[in-house]
């Protein structure tokens, strides 16, 4: 009887330690608390050249106000053009934040797309990564948008028309590190919620390093010589955790009508 | 072993109880941080929206005049993790709202907590409670 109980408990433990647990089906997953995030087991070695699954950046995924100092320390001085562009942006976060009524954040006040790289620099809530034979697809909870990262060996386009989410190609640097290069980014978007600007010359490098089965690290480099005096790391080995495959993500879509309602009811009076 | 098994079950239940930290799209400079007022009122509207949900309610001021307050919370994702929902309030509900007002005296602020007619308290700030995700 005792042996049976122990065996049953061990089997259940193994089941529960794995993100593939059949008990792990859930709707409207919103994210992990810091303790839950840090308490996840490694789950075994990393699979080779595989990022597929649903990942959560946990407490660091969303660039909350507690991370403002980190971002400010990482950010190099602006070029003269960068300073001029930064003065046009009136953010609600960061060292240049303004009162609520004065914010001109295109996402929260107009319902514009966050765009790339902002979706990974501040609003990196859970995302699903799917791999095909010639693409890696990033499906974001925030805005319920997706990116296509081509892995078929193509080159990035020359002088492309800017896009909200740019043009991306990716390659495996080694069996556990996937590197993505993105250009052609629309300069109406901000780099982050701190109102950091960028030009259409922006080039972003993402490095996804799979540490083990359940852990991923993301490093994001901003390279925009028109706006910043040198490249900088807006994310530096930010940890992410693998969620069970039955995880359904909640929608988080900042629509234009909802932004307008907030403007009328709250922010226009919050001076 | 029983303790270990219980610990595992608790930790896994906890896995799905989490929340992204509340990341406002704006700082706190607009609000009179640290000042708390508590108002009894009647809900007129509950808007479940991004970037912030907000509650509108009528409450009498010290002169007896009714003011319609508009008080914000975080977004639906963050509030769902705290046990709030799209159906948390309906027009006509009598509520007690603890809030932090804006500095300029307008009937605007952000919610700290709301006491519902059934005695349940919905908390909007502080560490995330271990709530069960919405189904």
Q: Do B24 and A62 touch (CB under 8 A)?
A: no
Q: Is residue A95 part of a domain?
A: yes
Contacts of B78 in chain A (CB under 8 A): 30
Domain presence at residue A3: no
Asked whether residue A6 is domain-assigned, the answer is no
Residue range(s) defining the domain that contains residue A71? 34-267
Q: A124 and A219 in contact (C-beta within 8 Å)?
A: no
- A174 domain residue, yes or no: yes
Residue B107 in contact with residue B56, Cβ under 8 Å? no
- The DSSP line for A11-67 is HHHHHHHSTT-GGG-EEEE----HHHHHT----SSPPTT---EEEE-HHHHB--GGG
Q: Is A64 within the bounds of a domain? A: yes
A158 falls within a domain: yes
Distance separating alpha carbons of residues A224 and A230, to the nearest angstrom: 8
Sorted by sequence, the CB contacts under 8 Å of residue B26 that are 6+ apart come out as A92, A93, A97, A100, A103, A108
Q: Which helix (H) or strand (E) holds A164?
A: none
Domains present along chain B, CATH in parentheses: 2-123 (2.40.50.140)
Collect all residues with Cβ–Cβ distance below 8 Å to A242 and sequence separation of at least 6. Answer: A19, A40, A43, A53, A54, A55, A213, A214, A215, A216
Interface contact B81-A39, CB threshold 8 A: no
Global pTM exceeds 0.95: no
Q: What integer pLDDT is reported at residue A61 of this predicted model?
A: 82
Of A5, A92, A261, the CB nearest to B27: A92
pLDDT at A27: 86
Q: Which of A187, A152, A194 is nearest to A166 (CA)?
A: A187
Predicted confidence pLDDT, tens digits, chain A (271 residues): 444 444 444 433 443 344 444 336 788 888 888 888 888 899 999 999 999 999 999 878 887 656 778 888 899 999 999 999 999 999 988 889 998 889 999 999 999 999 999 999 988 889 999 999 999 999 999 999 999 999 999 999 999 999 999 999 999 999 999 999 999 999 999 999 899 999 999 999 999 999 999 999 999 999 999 999 999 999 999 999 999 989 999 999 999 999 999 999 998 888 7
pLDDT digits (tens, 9 = 90+) for B59-89: 998 899 999 999 999 999 999 989 999 999 9
The number of distinct structural domains making up chain A is 1
Query: What pLDDT, on a 0 to 100 scale, did the predictor assign at position A64?
Result: 63
Indicate whether A62 belongs to any domain.
yes
A15 found inside a domain: no
Q: Which of A189, A143, A128, A123 is nearest to A162 (CA)?
A: A189
């Amino acid at each position: 009887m005792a042996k049976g109980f122990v065996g049953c408990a061990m089997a259940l433990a193994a089941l529960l330690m794995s993100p593939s647990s059949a008990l792990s089906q859930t709707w409207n997953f919103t994210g992990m608390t810091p303790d839950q995030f840090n308490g996840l087991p490694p789950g075994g070695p990393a699979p080779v050249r595989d990022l597929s699954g649903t990942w959560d950046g946990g407490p660091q995924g969303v660039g909350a106000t507690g991370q403002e100092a980190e971002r400010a320390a990482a950010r190099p001085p602006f070029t003269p053009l960068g300073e001029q562009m930064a003065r046009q942006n009136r953010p609600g976060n960061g060292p240049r934040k303004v009162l609520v009524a004065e914010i001109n954040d295109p996402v929260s006040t107009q319902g514009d797309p966050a765009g790339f790289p902002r979706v990974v620099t501040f609003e990196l809530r859970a995302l699903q990564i799917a791999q095909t034979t010639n693409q890696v697809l990033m499906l974001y909870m925030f805005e319920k948008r997706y990116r296509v990262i081509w892995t078929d060996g193509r080159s990035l386009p020359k002088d492309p028309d800017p896009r909200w989410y740019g043009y991306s190609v990716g390659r495996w640097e080694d069996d556990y590190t996937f590197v993505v290069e993105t250009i052609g980014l629309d300069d109406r978007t901000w780099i982050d919620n701190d109102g950091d600007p960028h030009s259409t010359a922006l080039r972003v490098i993402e490095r996804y390093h799979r540490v083990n089965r359940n852990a991923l690290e993301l490093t994001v480099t901003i390279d925009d010589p028109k706006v910043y005096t040198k490249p900088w790391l807006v994310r530096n080995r930010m940890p992410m955790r693998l969620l069970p495959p039955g995880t359904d993500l909640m929608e988080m879509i900042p629509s234009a009508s909802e932004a307008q309602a907030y403007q009328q009811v709250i922010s226009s009076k919050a001076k | 072993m029983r303790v270990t098994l219980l610990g595992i079950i608790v930790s896994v239940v906890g896995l799905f109880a989490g929340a992204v930290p509340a990341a406002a799209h704006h700082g706190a400079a607009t609000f009179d941080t640290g000042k708390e007022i508590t108002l009894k009122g009647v809900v007129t509207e509950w808007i479940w929206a991004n970037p912030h949900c907000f509650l509108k309610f009528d409450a009498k001021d010290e002169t007896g005049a009714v003011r319609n307050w508009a008080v914000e919370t975080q977004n639906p994702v963050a509030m769902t993790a705290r046990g709030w929902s799209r159906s948390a309030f309906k027009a006509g509900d009598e509520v007690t709202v603890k809030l932090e007002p804006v500095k300029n005296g307008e009937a605007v602020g952000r919610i700290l907590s709301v006491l519902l007619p059934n005695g349940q308290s919905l908390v909007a700030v502080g560490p995330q409670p271990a709530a069960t995700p919405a189904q």
